[in-house]
């Protein structure tokens, strides 16, 4: 039977999920407790946003998701095109026009009698679409984020490569508690050499003397980060990808962060130091405004076909 999608009758209105070949309301989604994806964080993931009925840079997210799976020797049965179709179907089932859409690839466990080695474990896809989630609230973004540089150091790329999205968030979570204790919103972590890497779910940029800079190592190659670099090129703003020391970051003219779940989010304080007039800086806001203006014009947009009828068991 065709599943109704009118909000009043839609059992997927709170969110829709897909787990290992089956679609269901997000509240019914579950994975086995014994799977290594859960017990060992043996999983990779990606997140793409839907805004005003359109995915943003869907192909880039799928490309990065596949690269992460290959790096971790995860081989689900779904092709890239099938994963894209699953994500669109989730959004369509939910009826959401603005959504946070996540895709995971998890490692299960080996079948009985097989070696207890990850090479013999089954791999599968799980995904969900829920109402839009932003890393920072509206008021926080308007006043500018309050950041700290945490004492906790980022897990080194030689141990866990941050370019492969992963659930190894122990260091990032510890940093977030440092931020809470120090009255800040978010923490930024340094690497072993004292250079800036990233925060909990976001990339970082500094601006000094009109030049934008972002770390070259120790952070995810964010899709929104890529968008910022494209915007800088379009606007004629110098942008460098290089090491940024803690001292340079603390003394920057402006700082901003970026993420799928929030776009460009400028900061106004770092380690208690007030930048500018304690509000987001002018160049940060120029990039912020350009980002959302281009999004409104359909930049890198993939519209969701809400009219297609899906069969759900």
Structural domain contains residue 5: no
Runs of H (alpha helix) within the chain:
36-39, 58-71, 80-94, 138-143, 170-181, 223-235, 246-250, 282-296
Structural domain contains residue 204: yes
144/128 same-domain check: no
Structural domain contains residue 308: no
Q: Say which CATH number the domain at 78 has.
A: 3.30.470.10
240/158 same-domain check: yes
Among 88, 116, 133, give the residue marking a domain's end. 133
Q: Which tens digits make up the pLDDT trace of 264-310? A: 999 999 999 999 999 999 999 999 999 999 999 999 999 999 998 77
126/245 same-domain check: no
84/146 same-domain check: no
Return d(Cα 290, Cα 229) in angstroms, integer: 12
168/212 same-domain check: yes
Return d(Cα 272, Cα 269) in angstroms, integer: 6
Q: Say which CATH number the domain at 265 has.
A: 3.20.10.10
Is pLDDT above 70 for 313?
no
Structural domain contains residue 11: no
Q: Which tens digits make up the pLDDT trace of 104-114? A: 999 999 999 99
Among 105, 133, 161, give the residue marking a domain's end. 133
Residue 149 contacts residue 246 (beta carbons within 8 Å):
yes
Domain that holds residue 21: 16-133
98/182 same-domain check: no
148/274 same-domain check: yes
Structural domain contains residue 172: yes
223/201 same-domain check: yes
225/95 same-domain check: no
Number of domain units in the chain:
2
How many CB atoms within 10 Å of residue 174? Answer: 16
49/64 same-domain check: yes
192/261 same-domain check: yes
Helix axis angle, 223-235 to 58-71, nearest 10°: 130
Give residue 284's region: left, alpha or beta (phi > 0; psi -120 to 50).
alpha
Residues ≥6 apart with Cβ < 8 Å to 264: 224, 228, 256, 257, 258, 284, 287, 288, 291
Whether the model pTM is above 0.85 = yes
Q: Which tens digits make up the pLDDT trace of 164-191? A: 999 999 999 999 999 999 999 999 999 9
Residue 243 contacts residue 195 (beta carbons within 8 Å):
yes
Residue 266 contacts residue 288 (beta carbons within 8 Å):
yes
pLDDT for 22:
97
102/229 same-domain check: no
Residues ≥6 apart with Cβ < 8 Å to 135: 201, 202, 259, 261, 262, 265
Q: Which tens digits make up the pLDDT trace of 252-272? A: 999 999 999 999 999 999 999
Return d(Cα 204, Cα 222) in angstroms, integer: 10
Return d(Cα 156, Cα 281) in angstroms, integer: 31
Query: Quick one: which of 131, 60, 15 has its CA closest to 299?
Result: 60
Among 95, 110, 133, give the residue marking a domain's end. 133
């Amino acid at each position: 039977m065709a599943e109704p999608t009118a909000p009043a009758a839609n059992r997927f209105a709170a969110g829709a999920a897909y787990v290992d070949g089956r679609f269901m309301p997000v509240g019914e989604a579950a994975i086995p407790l014994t799977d290594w994806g859960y017990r060992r964080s043996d999983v990779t993931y990606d997140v793409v946003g839907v805004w005003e009925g359109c995915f943003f840079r869907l192909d880039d997210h799928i490309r990065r998701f596949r690269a992460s799976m290959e790096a971790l020797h995860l081989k689900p049965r779904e092709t890239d095109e099938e994963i894209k179709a699953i994500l669109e179907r989730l959004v369509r089932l939910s009826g959401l026009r603005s959504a946070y859409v996540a895709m995971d690839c998890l490692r299960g466990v080996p079948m009985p009698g097989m070696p207890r080695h990850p090479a013999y474990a089954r791999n599968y896809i799980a995904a969900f679409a829920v109402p839009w989630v932003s890393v920072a609230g509206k008021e926080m973004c308007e006043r500018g984020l309050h950041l700290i540089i945490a004492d906790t150091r980022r897990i080194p790329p030689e141990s866990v490569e941050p370019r492969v999205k992963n659930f190894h968030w122990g260091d990032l979570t510890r940093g977030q508690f440092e931020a809470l204790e120090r009255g800040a919103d978010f923490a930024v972590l340094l690497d072993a050499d004292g250079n800036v890497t990233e925060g909990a779910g976001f990339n970082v940029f500094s601006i000094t003397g009109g030049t934008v800079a972002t770390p070259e190592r120790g952070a995810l190659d964010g899709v929104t980060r890529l968008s910022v670099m494209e915007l800088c090129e379009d606007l004629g703003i110098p942008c460098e990808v290089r090491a940024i020391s803690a001292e340079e970051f603390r003394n920057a003219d402006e700082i901003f962060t970026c993420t799928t779940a929030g776009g460009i989010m400028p900061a106004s304080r770092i380690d208690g130091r007030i930048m500018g007039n304690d509000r987001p800086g002018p160049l940060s806001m120029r990039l912020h405004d350009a980002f959302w203006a281009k999004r409104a014009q359909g930049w890198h947009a993939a519209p969701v076909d809400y009219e297609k009828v899906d069969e759900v068991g």
